[in-house]
Structure 1
Amino acid sequence: MSVIYLLISISIVVAVGFFVAFVKAVKSGQYDDDYTPSVRMLFDDELKKAKKNSKPNNNK
């Protein structure tokens, strides 16, 4: 029975550790921008085309 108490106390300590890490990440702004990553893949091709067009042409 004492093993159960030990495992429960260890699991509570681990859970509190993960909760503290989560709160620290939220306060530091880790999860602020949730829109841009979802649409970034839609604009990747346009960014690559813009980079190709902006290169100077030295072949005259």
Structure 2
Amino acid sequence: MKRAGGTQRRWRAVVGPIKLYGSSTHVHCNWSIAPSGTSREVAEVERLLDEVRLARPIVAQG
């Protein structure tokens, strides 16, 4: 996010909350987010999400 610019507070607002789902019903990826912001911000978040989903498809609340 440093490369894209902006503050940590702004990016937290763009990313928004993380929604967790049961791994029994969502076996491939049990979390999602719905970024909101400018088209550039959303595109940057979606690009990074693709990388994170591959590395951490299943997460635990904590």
Which structure has the greater CA radius of gyration?
1
Query: TM-score, normalising length from structure 2?
Result: 0.32
Which protein has the bigger strand share?
2
TM-score normalised to structure 1 length? 0.32
Higher helix share: 1
